[in-house]
Amino acid sequence: MGTRNGATGLSANDAGDWKQAHDVLSRLARERAVLDAEEGRWLLRALRSAAHVHLGFGSFLEYTERLFGYRPRTTQEKLRVAESLEALPRLARALETGALSWCAVRELTRVAVAETEPAWLDAARGKTLRELEALVAHKAPGDEPDAPPAELPRPRVLRFEVAADTFATFREAMQRLRRSAGGNHVHVDAESRRESDAAVAPDAAPRRAANADVRPSRARQSVTPALRRAVLARDRHRCTVPGCTHATFVDVHHVRPRSEGGRHEASNLLVLCSAHHRATHRGELVIDLERDGSLRFRHADGAAYGHPFIPRRIDAHAKVFSALRHLGFRESEVKTVLSELRADAGLCGASVEHLLHQSLCRIRPTAR
């Protein structure tokens, strides 16, 4: 039950433990600051080493959202702060020792440079986060804390909901704008409503129904423009990997490779972003077409895409996949034998050499 001062009802003994509570909270705040500093360094290292690529994810932002629950904006801020601290040793030290919280350091890294770092540290002492935000506002990088505020135009955020057809028109316009800008100078985040997100993992029945309407009349050497448009429309012009929101620079992928008899049919085609497309051909992402027409997405270790996985197993199986493909084995042959290896509990922690040896012993080449 609340009290006049907003505190919950406490017994006489609990009320006397306020000093202990304060000490514990202070300790946790210092430990959190230390962990924030360490996490930033490792996030930066993971980005620079392309950890998400080796694990088969479409982007680093998807990787951190799935594994750590960070929204894209949170990840971007953590990376920005970590990169800034590489050139700001005093601020980095203040965070590592718990002298400043991560939120305070986040604000200071917006304006502090090597020359002004000591002045900003002095100015931050004793200030609340809100006071720091006000102090940093309208300051440019390199400004001193007592510099007059620069009247910089502040970015504005627009959020609105539109109908599905309006959103499709907007997305097409943005794709044209990105292409005209070389794909590097336009940044717009657009999210469709939850109802349209079902297209990321289409059910088997709608997929089969759509397939019946867009089958080509005869096999061709390449996917016809009409079939490509039909497949893109069926998959809503976005990558079909669950959770992937990429809708630009997408490819039409053959589930069963054309070189192994895969036909130019809608049932054998799906839309993938370029990152996930490359991951499938490196063996880091496994896509299977089930008998009922549904798609199954897995990491190289056999775990369902986005579910808990074992990085070392992913790395080992991807390397074996690459080795067998370079030896001339077909993709379907390689996927079959790797599926057998994943099902063998005795090979759970096997090395790349042992897995490759087992693969060569078990693989069953088909007649060419």
Judge whether residue 161 has pLDDT over 80: no
pLDDT score for 218: 44
Mean pLDDT, range 127-143, rounded to an integer: 92
Kindly give the pairing relationship between strand 269-273 and strand 250-254. Answer: antiparallel
pLDDT in tens, 300-340: 988 999 888 889 999 999 999 999 999 999 888 998 999 99
- For residues 18 and 25, what is the distance between their CA atoms, to the nearest angstrom? 10
Judge whether residue 91 has pLDDT over 90: yes
pLDDT score for 245: 82
Mean pLDDT, range 259-271, rounded to an integer: 85
* Least confident range of 100-104, 175-179, 262-266, 346-350: 175-179
Confidence of residue 13 (pLDDT cuts 50, 70, 90): low
Mean pLDDT, range 37-56, rounded to an integer: 95
Structure tokens at 281: 């051909």
pLDDT score for 205: 46
How far from chain centre, in Å, is Cα 354? 32
Mean pLDDT, range 159-185, rounded to an integer: 66
CATH class of 18-136: mainly alpha
Short-list 220, 226, 232, 291, CA closest to 262: 220
Mean pLDDT, range 75-92, rounded to an integer: 96
Residue 128 to residues 25, 103, 142, 168, 200: CA-CA distances in angstroms?
17, 10, 22, 45, 44
- For residues 168 and 74, what is the distance between their CA atoms, to the nearest angstrom? 27
pLDDT score for 182: 57
Judge whether residue 164 has pLDDT over 70: no
Judge whether residue 152 has pLDDT over 70: no
Judge whether residue 27 has pLDDT over 50: yes
Judge whether residue 18 has pLDDT over 80: yes
Residues in the chain: 368
How far apart are the two ends of the chain, measured CA to CA in Å?
A: 78
Amino acid at 150: A
pLDDT score for 261: 76
pLDDT score for 332: 86
List Cβ neighbours of 189 (8 Å cut-off, separation of 6 or more): 72
Mean pLDDT, range 244-271, rounded to an integer: 86
- For residues 41 and 217, what is the distance between their CA atoms, to the nearest angstrom? 55
Higher-pLDDT residue of 185, 274 = 274
pLDDT score for 108: 96
**Which sequence spans correspond to the domains of the chain?**
18-136, 198-299, 311-362
- Match 């390397």 to its residue by tokens: 319
CB-based contact 295:270 (threshold 8 Å): yes
pLDDT in tens, 184-241: 444 445 444 333 343 334 444 445 445 544 544 444 457 888 898 999 999 988 899 9
- For residues 162 and 19, what is the distance between their CA atoms, to the nearest angstrom? 53
- For residues 57 and 275, what is the distance between their CA atoms, to the nearest angstrom? 8
Triad 320, 321, 327: Cα angle to 5°: 85
Higher-pLDDT residue of 161, 168 = 161
Amino acid at 166: T
pLDDT score for 5: 53
Structure tokens at 339: 């599926």
Judge whether residue 105 has pLDDT over 80: yes
| 3-state SS, one letter per residue, for the chain | CECCCCCECCCHHHHCCHHHHHHHHHHHHHHHHHHHHHHHHHHHHHHHCCHHHHCCCCCHHHHHHHHHCCCHHHHHHHHHHHHHHCCCHHHHHHHHCCCCCHHHHHHHCCCCCCCCHHHHHHHHCCCCHHHHHHHHCCCCCCCCCCCCCCCCCCCCCCCCCCCHHHHHHHHHHHHHHHHHCCCCCCCCCCCCCHHHHHHHCCCHHHHHHHHHHCCCCCCCCCCCHHHHHHHHHHCCCCCCCCCCCCCCCEEEEECCCHHHCCCCCHHHEEEEEHHHHHHHHCCCEEEEECCCCCEEEEECCCCECCCCCCHHHHHHHHHHHHHHHHCCCCHHHHHHHHHHHHHCHHHCCCCHHHHHHHHHHHCCCCCC
Short-list 166, 204, 179, CA closest to 291: 204
**Surface-to-core class of residue 274, CB atoms within 10 Å of its CB (0-12 exposed, 13-18 middle, 19+ buried):** middle
* Least confident range of 183-197, 236-250, 256-270: 183-197
Confidence of residue 14 (pLDDT cuts 50, 70, 90): low
Burial 284-312 (b: 16+ CB within 10 A, else e): bbbbebeeebebebbbbbbbebbeebbee
With pLDDT > 70 as the criterion, what percentage of the chain qualifies? Answer: 79
Amino acid at 105: V
